[in-house]
Structure 1
Amino acid sequence: MTTPSLYRTRIRHTRRTPIRHGFEYRSYSWFVDLDDLPRLPLWLRPFARFDPADHFDDPQPRATLRDGLDAYLAEHGIDLRAGRVTALLNARVLGYVFNPLSLFWCYDDAGALVCVVAEVHNTYGGRHCYLLRPDTAGRAEVDKAFYVSPFNPVDGHYSLSVPEPGKELNVAIILHRDGSVPFVATMRGRARPATVATVAATQLTQPLAPLMVSARIRRQGIALWLRRLPLVPRPTGRRLQEATS
C-alpha cells in the first residue's frame, strides 16, 4: 500500500498564441492508494472527502473510486487483476471539489504499469478521461477530445509528462496545434506525509483550496476576455458528442 501524501503544488499556465498570457498559483493535491484511502479523525473529514461521484462518467453509481476506475478500464478491455492503483487528485473540502486534472497510475498484479488515466474537468461541470500508455519516462501523447477552455477549440494533440510522483511531483501538459504550441501547463510540488498535523495545517494555510482554484481560473478567463481573445463556442448536442468521442 502507498502511504498517503500531500503535495504542496505550484501550478503554472502559459498561453503563447494568439496573445501571450501566463499565471501561477499555489494549491495542494493528495497522492493516495485507491484501495487504502486516508482515514482521518472525525473532525477533519469534512476537509478531505473522496467521493466516487466526483470521477468517471458512469450511469451506474459506484461504491468506491476503485470500482469507478475498474468500470472505465473494462470499457477499454483492461483488467488490472486486482493490481495496485495510485492517484493524484483533490478531495472535497466542506462539500466542494474541483479537479482540473486527476491522474491514476494503474498496475497489474505483477507490478507492471499498464496505463495512466488522466481525467480532466472543466469549469462547466464536464469531465473526460484520456487513456495514456506512457513510456518509461512517463511521456505520452493523445489527441485533444474535450472542451476545456472557451479560448481553445477541440483540436490538436497533447504531449504529457506524467511520471508517478515520489518525493517530487513534476507533471507537464503541452498542447500542439498546426506546428505551434499555444498552451503549456505544469504542476510541481514536494511530498509531505498526510499526517493529521499536516492536513490540519494545510487547511489553515490554504483554506477552501478547490474553491480558490476554480475562482482563479475563472478570473483569468475574464482577464483574457477583456483583452478581446476570441471565444470558442462550447459544443452542444451532436457537436458535443463529436468533440468528446
Structure 2
Amino acid sequence: MPALVVGQVSHVRRAPVRHAFRHRSYQWLVDVDALPRLPLWLRPLAAFRAEDHLDGGASGAGIRGDLTAFLACHGVPVEPSDRVVMLAHARVLGHVFDPLTVFWVLARDGAVRAVVFEVHNTYGGRHAYLLDVDEDGHADTDKSFYVSPFNDVSGSYRIGLRLDDEQVSVTVGLDRGGRRVLTATTRGAPTPATRRALLRVSATHLLMPQRVSALIRAHGILLWLRRLPVVPRPTPAKEFSR
C-alpha cells in the first residue's frame, strides 16, 4: 500500500422493479497513517481528507482518530500498534463522492480486530456500522440509514468481504421480509499505486468520483421514469451517525 483497486462495480435490483448495471471503477486501498504523498502536479488526481469520512476530523487526530473514537463508543479499543486500512475513493479535482468506505483494523500479526462499514448518501449524510465479521468474511447488520430514495431504512444487510493480495471485494445484499431486494458489489485487483499506474487509471477512468455522482443520479432518473415508488427522506439528514 497504497494500492489502486481497479475493477468493476455492479448493482442488481430485484424488486419491485428489476434493474441492473455494471461499470468500470477503481478505488484506493491505503493505510490511514501513511496516506499517499504525491508530487504537486499529481495532487489534483488524488487527495484524502478527514472531513470526508466518519466525524469529519472532529477528533483532531485525522481519520484514525475519528475511527478510534467511534470504536471506543462500541467498546472496541484500537491499539497503537494496530494498522488501519481504508478502501475508499479519493478526491479528484477537489470532488469526492464515496458511496461506501470500508475500514479494517488489523493487529500486528495481520488478524482482523474490527471492520467498520461507512455508507454515504447523495444528501451529504453518512453512517458507520461496526460489523461482526466471521472467519469467512461475512457479516449481517440491520439497515438504519437512508441511502436511496427508493428504499426506506427497513431490512438488513448481508455483507461479504475479501481483502488479500489478489482481490479486494465488497458485496452488500439488502434483504427485506426474507427476500433479496438488491445486491451491490465492488471488486478489483490491487496494484501498487505508482505514478505511472495513477496516470493510467486516471486516463482510463476519467474523473471517477464525478462519474460516480452522475451515474447514481442517472440510474435514479431511470428508476423514477419506470415509476418505482419514492420513499420520503427523513429530515434533517445527519452528517454522521453512530
Q: TM-score interval w.r.t. the shorter chain? A: over 0.9
Q: TM-score, with normalisation over the residues of structure 2?
A: 0.93
Which amino acid in structure 1 is aligned with residue 8 of structure 2?
R
Aligned length: 239
Q: TM-score, with normalisation over the residues of structure 1?
A: 0.92
Alignment of 1:66-77 (within 5 A): 66-77=64-75
Name the SS for the 2:162 alignment partner.
Answer: coil
Aligned to 2:136: 137
Q: CA deviation at 1:58?
A: 5.1
Query: Is the Cα–Cα contact under 8 Å of residues 106 and 115 in structure 1 kept in the other structure?
Result: yes
Aligned to 1:80: 78
Query: Is the Cα–Cα contact under 8 Å of residues 57 and 127 in structure 1 kept in the other structure?
Result: no
Aligned to 2:40: 42
Q: CA deviation at 1:182?
A: 0.7
Q: 1:12 aligns with which of 10, 13, 28?
A: 10
Aligned to 1:175: 174
Task: Report the RMSD for the aligned CA atoms in angstroms.
Answer: 1.7
Q: 1:106 to 1:59 in 2, by over 3 A?
A: closer
Which amino acid in structure 2 is aligned with residue 70 of structure 1?
T
Query: Is the Cα–Cα contact under 8 Å of residues 156 and 178 in structure 1 kept in the other structure?
Result: yes
2:200 is equivalent to residue 185 of structure 1: no
Q: CA deviation at 1:112?
A: 2.8
Aligned to 1:52: 50
CA distance in 1, matches of 2:27, 2:123: 21
Name the SS for the 1:162 alignment partner.
Answer: strand
Which amino acid in structure 1 is aligned with residue 25 of structure 2?
S
Which deviates more from structure 2 when the two are superposed, residues 62-71 or residues 18-27?
A: 62-71
Query: Is the Cα–Cα contact under 8 Å of residues 139 and 163 in structure 1 kept in the other structure?
Result: no
Query: 4+ residue runs of structure 1 moved beyond 6 angstroms?
Result: none
Q: Please give the per-residue CA displacement for 1:124-151, whole angstroms capped at 9, x wherever unaligned.
A: 1110001002011110000001101100
Q: 1:198 to 1:152 in 2, by over 3 A?
A: same
Which amino acid in structure 1 is aligned with residue 67 of structure 2?
L
Which sections of structure 1, spanning at least 5 residues, go unmatched?
Answer: none
Aligned to 2:122: 123
Which amino acid in structure 2 is aligned with residue 8 of structure 1?
V
Q: CA deviation at 1:6?
A: 0.3
Aligned to 1:159: 158
